Amino acid sequence: MTDGMEMFPLIQRLDEEGNLIGDLGVLSLADLKETYATMRFLRTFDERAWNLQRQGVIGTYAPFKGQEAAQMGAVAALEDTDWLVPTYRDWAASYLRGVPLEHGLFFSKGHPSLGDIPAGKRVLPAQVVIAAQTLHGVGVAWATKLRHEKVATVVTFGDGATSQGDFHEAMNFASVLAVPLIFFCENNQWAISVPLARQMHAETIAQRSIAYGIEGFRVDGNDYVAVANLMHELSERVRNGEGPFLVEALTYRLGAHTTADDPGKYRAIEEEDLWIRRDPLVRLERWLRAQGQLSDEDLAAIDADSERKVEEIIAGFREALDISPLVLFDSVYATLPSTLASQRAQFEARVKEVGA
Amino acid sequence: MVKIETSPQQVTSRKLTVSKAMVEGIAQEMERDPSVIVLGEDVGAYGGIFSSTTGLLERFGPGRILDTPISETAFIGLGTGAAVEGMRPIVELMFVDFFGVAMDQIYNHMAKIHYESGGNVLVPMVLMTAVGGGYSDGAQHSQCLWGTFAHLPGMKVVVPSSPADAKGLMISAIRDENPVVYMFHKGVMGLPWMTKSTHALGDVPEESYTVPIGKAAITRSGTDVTVVTLSLSVHHSLDVADELAKEGIECEVVDLRSLVPLDRATVLESVAKTGRLVVVDEDYQSFGLSGEIAAIIAEEDPRLLRCPMKRVCVPDTPIPYARSLEQATLPTPTRIAAAIRDVMA
Ligand SMILES: Cc1ncc(C[n+]2csc(CCOP(=O)(O)OP(=O)(O)O)c2C)c(N)n1
Ligand SMILES: [Mg+2]
């Protein structure tokens, strides 16, 4: 049996206690101060989104709590011309690529602005059909190669997604076509109620790379310093014509799968406690404090700022909710076919008449 | 309507939700027949994300209740293989919307192996799947799509709406020698986190029994207008019928229960009696069940109708996420009542 853990040792730079192993690599102290503030803001947003669902303001929401470092690290090295092809939990990663966080709220509202990726931002909308986006990622990366663009593409997906044929077919195509793509797996160890051990018999996801003849890496996904450094190295390499690569970022979903889930049904509190101690925010905070770069006052300021920004987002979101039901027909086709136009007319009359 | 195998005197029933009735049907068959197994995503400790397998893991263990990797093509394909070899797998596809991932296994293999083998190979498998919207889950999680499955030859399709039918049709589906697609609407299950429907709770005999596949049920008889419907729309139609009865409109509600085979006779008889028809179908309007019902009347005797029929369906657009938009597309009681009033006018 392949000893995946030995072949793909966990890459770590900042341990749970906040001790730096080696150096910061390409990152600076200033980077980390900023990253910490952003991470805390994202955590605040994520927790608020959860509460908004509980208050009935939004529908189902998939929280990313616990996976902030993995998501932020995944995109840390991307330039404006690079692509992100995200899975549905990646509001933090998408946000850093220029997609407003409101989209995470619009998502369950079906608001048409959800799909409005700001002009020029190279991000695809969040994908829910498991692993489908891995194929899109290969297509995007392949096109950048055909068009001689010096561009890196990152496609993200969960551990459960690696069971899909789509994922394996994507890995195969990517390697055969030698596309400039990084497969970035957020291994949060659970796929709803199914633990990774029942998803696959292999020890690591990283070792899947061997079968496709590409390089694989296993990184501590709760360690921003490690993930960001690895992604700097790999994006540079794919821009220079190497790739594809597979990265397994080991992390943990601290919250529920979605607002419709109750993890108490299938996993032990002890396991959650273990991972609470490995929280990506905590180790960064410890390190910054030890450097004398983060005081209680700084924290209070970050929190006040985060609260204010989250409030602004929610206010804007609420305002945008007032839309006509007729938008439903707007984007089914590029131009409305006559048959659908007549359904639209009937629909409009009905909405006016009975209000439903 | 419900065929009880034991003598009627022994029948004891109690009120169960559709979800509990389904699970009871599966459990009784698992007790009776060791070849019955359940596999799918989150069917184990979770008990199915829509509670279609609650408690089965505790009762029957991981050897018979298998949480699968997220590989629909694989587990539907291997369910088919296991059925061919003599097991009776119940395979859960978490949302019918994901059939696309595995459709080749469903319609080219599960549904055609019997035919391809000249009738020598049986595929006694149940593909059960959650359908329907109404709880803001968007275009890829809210479809019914039963018309799609019913359109393709080789598989039976059942769509229960009541607890008693949910159990009886499940048992029939498991015992059937053909692949049966068993489609349950999330809104009929009686789940605490869904909008409540009073019809999701009903009398269910404790004993094992079957409900015949291919037989519709008249869930309410009436003389003025026939409402042909299925699944959650049956619940809405019954509520609407109660309301309209106060205005003197007597609706006959036909719950199709099975789409393949389809009980044409019951539809025709009812329309012959009332002369008016409304089809309520939570699937897309065009090229589907509502058109099929219209075709039956047109083929058999168009004169049965004394006025044009009406259909209350989902328009040919993806189902929106936003509650207000979604409610405007679904066959809500308001829309059903308006359509009935229209044909009565
Ligand atoms: C094709 C498909 N099958 C099933 C589902 C239902 N589903 C949604 S999320 C999920 C688990 C995914 O787990 P993982 O890939 O590890 O991502 P995570 O949720 O942990 O981020 C499942 C089975 C789906 N969305 N798409
Ligand atoms: Mg996961």
Q: Give tens-digit pLDDT for B315-343.
A: 999 998 878 888 889 999 999 999 999 99
Residue that terminates a domain, selected from B162, B191, B210: B210
CATH number for the domain that contains residue B93: 3.40.50.970
Helices A29-54 and A68-75: crossing angle, nearest 10°? 130
The verdict on whether omega for the bond into residue A118 sits within 30 degrees of 0, i.e. cis, is: no
- Specify whether the CB–CB gap between B267 and B294 falls below 8 A: no
Q: Which residue of A has its CA nearest to B102?
A: A165
Q: Does position A356 have pLDDT exceeding 80, yes or no?
A: no
Q: Which residue of A has its CA nearest to B45?
A: A266
Residues B290 and B331 grouped into a single domain: yes
Task: Say yes or no for a CB contact (<8 Å) between A194 and B49.
Answer: no
Q: What is the mean pLDDT of residues A200-206?
A: 97
Write down the CATH superfamily of domain A4-323.
Thiamin diphosphate (ThDP)-binding fold, Pyr/PP domains (3.40.50.970)
Q: What is the whole-number distance in angstroms between the Cα of residue A117 and the centre of ligand 1?
A: 23
Q: Tell me the ligand closest to A89's alpha carbon.
A: 1
Q: Does position B5 have pLDDT exceeding 70, yes or no?
A: no
Specify the ligand 1 atom closest to the Cα of A130.
Answer: 26
Can you give the pTM of this predicted structure?
0.89
Q: Does position B7 have pLDDT exceeding 70, yes or no?
A: no
Query: Tell me: the pLDDT tens digits for A336-349?
Result: 999 899 999 988 88
Q: Does position A52 have pLDDT exceeding 70, yes or no?
A: yes
Distance (Å, whole) CA B204 – CA B13:
5
Residues B37 and B179 grouped into a single domain: yes
Residue that terminates a domain, selected from B190, B210, B230: B210
- Specify whether the CB–CB gap between B19 and B52 falls below 8 A: yes
Q: Does position B9 have pLDDT exceeding 80, yes or no?
A: no
Q: State the residue range of the domain holding B58.
A: 16-210
Residues B199 and B228 grouped into a single domain: no
For chain B, the domain total comes to 2
Task: Say yes or no for a CB contact (<8 Å) between B41 and A109.
Answer: no
Distance (Å, whole) CA B73 – CA B45:
22
**Per-residue buried b or exposed e for A176-210, using 16+ beta carbons within 10 Å of the residue's own CB:** ebebbbbbbbbbbbbbbbbbbebbbebbbbbbbbb
Residues B31 and B150 grouped into a single domain: yes
H or E segment to which residue B67 belongs: strand B65-67
For residue A255, count other CB atoms closer than 10 A to its CB.
20
Calculate the average pLDDT of chain B.
95
Distance (Å, whole) CA A174 – CA A17:
38
Task: Say yes or no for a CB contact (<8 Å) between A59 and B326.
Answer: no
Of residues B7 and B131, the one with the higher pLDDT is B131
Q: Does position B192 have pLDDT exceeding 70, yes or no?
A: yes
Q: What is the mean pLDDT of residues B32-41?
A: 97
Query: Tell me: the pLDDT tens digits for A238-254?
Result: 999 999 999 999 999 99
Decide if B170 is inside a domain: yes
Residues B48 and B118 grouped into a single domain: yes
Residue that terminates a domain, selected from B178, B210, B242: B210
Q: Does position A323 have pLDDT exceeding 80, yes or no?
A: no
pLDDT at position B168, please? 98
Q: Does position B1 have pLDDT exceeding 70, yes or no?
A: no
Where in chain A do CATH 3.40.50.970 domains reside?
4-323
- Specify whether the CB–CB gap between A34 and A228 falls below 8 A: no
Name the band, by pLDDT with cuts 50, 70 and 90, for residue B219.
Answer: very high
Q: Does position B2 have pLDDT exceeding 70, yes or no?
A: no
Calculate the average pLDDT of chain A.
94
Residues B148 and B170 grouped into a single domain: yes
Q: Is A201 one of the catalytic residues? A: no
Of residues A308 and B1, the one with the higher pLDDT is A308
Q: What is the mean pLDDT of residues B214-240?
A: 98
Q: What is the mean pLDDT of residues A301-316?
A: 96
Q: Is B235 one of the catalytic residues? A: no
Query: Tell me: the pLDDT tens digits for B101-117?
Result: 999 999 999 999 999 88
Collect all residues from A whose CB is shorter than 8 A from any CB in B: 59-60, 107-111, 128-131, 160-161, 163-166, 191-194, 198-200, 260, 265-266, 321, 323, 325, 327-329, 332, 339-340, 343-344, 347, 350-351, 353-356
Q: What is the mean pLDDT of residues B118-142?
A: 93
